[in-house]
Amino acid sequence: MKRILSIFVLLMALTSAAFSATDDIALHVNGIIIGWSGGGGTKDVEHNAFSYNQYAENYWDIHDLSTDVYDKVEFKFAQAVNYSNINVTATYSDGSATDTKITKGAMSHTVNFNTGKTLVKIAITIGWDGPSGSTTIYFDSITIRAKDSTGNVGEMPVGSPKLGKGVSNPLLDFHYCADPTAIEYNGRLYVYGTNDHQQYEAGTPTNSYEAINSLVVMSTDDMVNWTYHGPIETKAVAPWIVASWAPTIISKPQADGSTLFSLYFSNSGTGSGVIQAKSPLGPWTSPLNKNLTDGFDPGAVIDDNGDGWLAYGGGTGKIVKLNADLHSIAAGPVLPPTPYHFEANELNFINGTYVYTYNNDWSDHTPWNYGGVKPTACSMVYFTSKNPLNANSWTYGTNYFKNTGENGMNYGNNHTHLHKYQGKWYLFYQANNLEHSIGSSGGFRSIYVDEIEVDEVNVIIKECKPTFQGVTAIKNLDPYTAQYATTAAATLGIIHEQADGDGHMVAKVGTPSTIAPVPSEGIIEVRNADFSGSSNTLKCLVKGNGSVTLRLDDKDGADVATVNNTGDNWKELTATCASTPSGVHTVYFILSGDVRFDKWVLGNVSLTGVNVPLIDNGKTTNDHSVYDLRGIRNQQPVNGLNIVRMNDGSVRKILNQH
């Protein structure tokens, strides 16, 4: 009963008081990260209990809390702790720690933090001198106390594994998404994934996928700063589907000079659907009112002949050749050897060779009669062939990506996408480590990327190991060209809302968590901005009541420039920088109030009139280019509003009626 009353008091505090730096923070057993050393541990959320194994470290990931604001953590136990030598360790960002021991018979325990530190982790471990076997602790409450506590208790604020830390994984630190695929278009790389965040926001305690009926897309041209383009509402485009998971995308030039993009996805477990567009951002249409295939987790590729191929399946893999329309089948299916097949089909075409990758199951894969090294459980393997419609032509390669749990991350299902971009090979994959920063433990995933070595001559894929560090930038960002506020390397306290145009989102202050408090400000971090010009004028496109402040290299540093706005209309506002920026810097934008932030630039460049990336589709004109509101270039203005970009770089809008 005491635990029930504590939870009731916590819920009342959350609904009656806004979170502040004087509010305490509640921790829960469902937020414990289970360490794999020593056999981990077991959560019992119903009884607010956790069973600790000897030698295992299990911990709460704390989001960079200042110990000058929060000075201690208090544990209250529902039952007396009947064990000795249980260690509680508070770890700080500089690697130092405060170590304490819970006394046998204790009904409470307090750890006082060192002052002047940044808290990052609270761990409970049982060493060699502790009880053998499993030890269960029944908690009443776990509370991080504010130095000037008001008695109000809130949830842990959202953190970022990337902000100010120089790491590049995951790609997005504010949104759960998984099952990556990618396509390059006009020099830009577009990455698509399953919208796990939709399932998370549905309120399910674990990711069971049934609420997911949209995909998500982001893009980059430097591999570090990612533009968030928001969801693709597959259910609205294709109302006949059940759900949408695990996308794959290909594109093909058309006779009229346009490009056809075909985006395939799992329609729940019933089969694979397809939607198509003339832009990587849409608008999308459904060419069918049924599944294209009977298997799920599709993987597509266009070979050097311009032919489309699709792999799919569950339990066994299948391959078909597509017709030129990319939404009907020309030949197949063929069943290549796919031993211990589970899911996550993908295709590549390298040096005249078809490469079929997939995720194998959780068994020990015995017997293994396919040569090479037997793959580990739930890992990624590949087969190669010169003739994909000949089932006997496929040859096993190797286990090129083991489960992330074997490499220091959490265990989970596996899905990768191999892609060559700007001369480098990358492996996109998924992991659920972002959960600890947003405040969930239900298996909601995020997309990561690391470089991978591929021998293109012999078509050999080397093993890739996942990292939190991720990849480095392949180019600097140009601050004198209009940049979207949704382009960032990291964020904190930022969410996004749909604006006009497919793939056009704007940033505002908010929290991606369903339980965490809404922050008072939001932070956008943009890396590798090269201030080689001479402008000292910041221009921002904003609306709403609030401000946008520019800082360089330190999110808590001096203000360089600030724009303030009131009103509900979009405005281009300028501010003079305290000094003219020069050199390469990390840019921080601090959003305060109820402001919407669309674009920014250094210098006198127009930020209005173009709301989506302008996509050249081969159309030509003499002195100007015409685009519709999707950003697609046309020979002549279409009916309605058009964007006209003159060859001198100026942009204007025209209304065409016919």
Claim to verify: residue 8 and residue 138 sit in the same structural domain? yes
pLDDT higher at 126 or 422: 422
Claim to verify: residue 455 and residue 578 sit in the same structural domain? no
User: Which among 150, 117, 163 is positioned nearest to 20, based on CA atoms?
Assistant: 150
Averaged pLDDT, 602-616? 68
Claim to verify: residue 107 and residue 235 sit in the same structural domain? no
Q: CA-to-CA distance for 257 and 431, rounded, in angstroms?
A: 39
SS3 labels along 6-70: HHHHHHHHHHHCCCCCCCEEEECHHHCEECCHHHCEEEECCCCEEEEECCCEEEEEEEEEECCCE
Kindly list the distances between the CA atom of residue 314 and the CA atoms of 72, 294, 500, in Å, as whole numbers in the listed order.
50, 10, 39
**Looking at the domain assignment, is residue 475 inside a domain?**
no
And the tokens for 418? 């191999």
**Looking at the domain assignment, is residue 575 inside a domain?**
yes
For residue range 471-529, what is the model confidence (pLDDT) as tens digits?
Answer: 999 999 999 999 999 999 999 999 999 998 899 999 999 999 999 989 999 999 999 99
pLDDT higher at 36 or 459: 459
Residue type, position 309, single letter? W
Kindly list the distances between the CA atom of residue 341 and the CA atoms of 46, 90, 365, 388, in Å, as whole numbers in the listed order.
36, 43, 10, 17
Please answer whether residues 540 and 573 qualify as being in contact, where contact means their C-beta atoms are separated by less than 8 angstroms: yes
How many Cα atoms within 13 Å fall on the side-chain side of residue 554? 5
* pLDDT over threshold 70, residue 352: yes
User: Which among 22, 83, 10 is positioned nearest to 52, based on CA atoms?
Assistant: 83
* pLDDT over threshold 60, residue 616: no
Claim to verify: residue 137 and residue 262 sit in the same structural domain? no
Q: CA-to-CA distance for 571 and 568, rounded, in angstroms?
A: 9
CATH of the domain at 132: 2.60.120
Claim to verify: residue 27 and residue 136 sit in the same structural domain? yes
Q: CA-to-CA distance for 121 and 29, rounded, in angstroms?
A: 14
pLDDT higher at 57 or 300: 300
In this structure, the number of other CB atoms found within 10 A of the CB of residue 139 comes to 19
Q: How confident is the model at residue 15 (pLDDT cuts 50, 70, 90)?
A: very low
Averaged pLDDT, 162-181? 97
Q: CA-to-CA distance for 428 and 284, rounded, in angstroms?
A: 24
Q: How confident is the model at residue 546 (pLDDT cuts 50, 70, 90)?
A: very high
Count the domains in the chain. 4
- pLDDT computed for residue 638 by the predictor: 55
**Looking at the domain assignment, is residue 208 inside a domain?**
no
- pLDDT computed for residue 628 by the predictor: 57
* pLDDT over threshold 70, residue 636: no
- pLDDT computed for residue 8 by the predictor: 32
pTM (2 d.p.): 0.88
pLDDT higher at 555 or 9: 555
CATH of the domain at 376: 2.115.10.20
Please answer whether residues 400 and 443 qualify as being in contact, where contact means their C-beta atoms are separated by less than 8 angstroms: no
Q: How confident is the model at residue 617 (pLDDT cuts 50, 70, 90)?
A: very low
Claim to verify: residue 252 and residue 362 sit in the same structural domain? yes
Instruction: Map tokens 């993987």 to a residue.
Output: 299
Residue type, position 541, single letter? L
Out of 124-133, 268-277, 342-351, which region has the weakest mean confidence (pLDDT)? Answer: 124-133
Kindly list the distances between the CA atom of residue 129 and the CA atoms of 35, 151, 503, in Å, as whole numbers in the listed order.
19, 37, 57
**Looking at the domain assignment, is residue 389 inside a domain?**
yes
* pLDDT over threshold 70, residue 143: yes
* pLDDT over threshold 90, residue 130: no
- pLDDT computed for residue 643 by the predictor: 66
Which of 121, 155, 189 is the endpoint of a domain? 155
- pLDDT computed for residue 134 by the predictor: 81
Claim to verify: residue 318 and residue 372 sit in the same structural domain? yes
**Looking at the domain assignment, is residue 69 inside a domain?**
yes
Claim to verify: residue 568 and residue 644 sit in the same structural domain? no
* pLDDT over threshold 60, residue 141: yes
Claim to verify: residue 395 and residue 268 sit in the same structural domain? yes
Claim to verify: residue 237 and residue 381 sit in the same structural domain? yes
Claim to verify: residue 42 and residue 80 sit in the same structural domain? yes
For the chain, what is the radius of gyration of the CA atoms? Answer: 26
**Looking at the domain assignment, is residue 199 inside a domain?**
no
* Sheet of 487-488, strands arranged across: 178-185, 188-194, 215-220, 226-232, 487-488
**Looking at the domain assignment, is residue 617 inside a domain?**
no
pLDDT higher at 149 or 613: 149
In this structure, the number of other CB atoms found within 10 A of the CB of residue 369 comes to 8
CATH of the domain at 490: 2.60.120.260
User: Which among 239, 263, 274 is positioned nearest to 190, based on CA atoms?
Assistant: 263
**Looking at the domain assignment, is residue 362 inside a domain?**
yes
Which of 130, 155, 180 is the endpoint of a domain? 155
Claim to verify: residue 241 and residue 389 sit in the same structural domain? yes
Averaged pLDDT, 94-115? 96
Q: CA-to-CA distance for 452 and 326, rounded, in angstroms?
A: 29
For residue range 575-594, what is the model confidence (pLDDT) as tens digits?
Answer: 999 999 999 999 999 999 99
For residue range 235-278, what is the model confidence (pLDDT) as tens digits?
Answer: 999 999 999 999 999 999 999 999 999 999 999 999 999 999 99
Please answer whether residues 597 and 540 qualify as being in contact, where contact means their C-beta atoms are separated by less than 8 angstroms: yes
Which of 128, 155, 182 is the endpoint of a domain? 155
For residue range 67-86, what is the model confidence (pLDDT) as tens digits?
Answer: 999 999 999 999 999 988 88
Q: How confident is the model at residue 618 (pLDDT cuts 50, 70, 90)?
A: very low
Task: Give the domain extent around 143.
Answer: 2-155
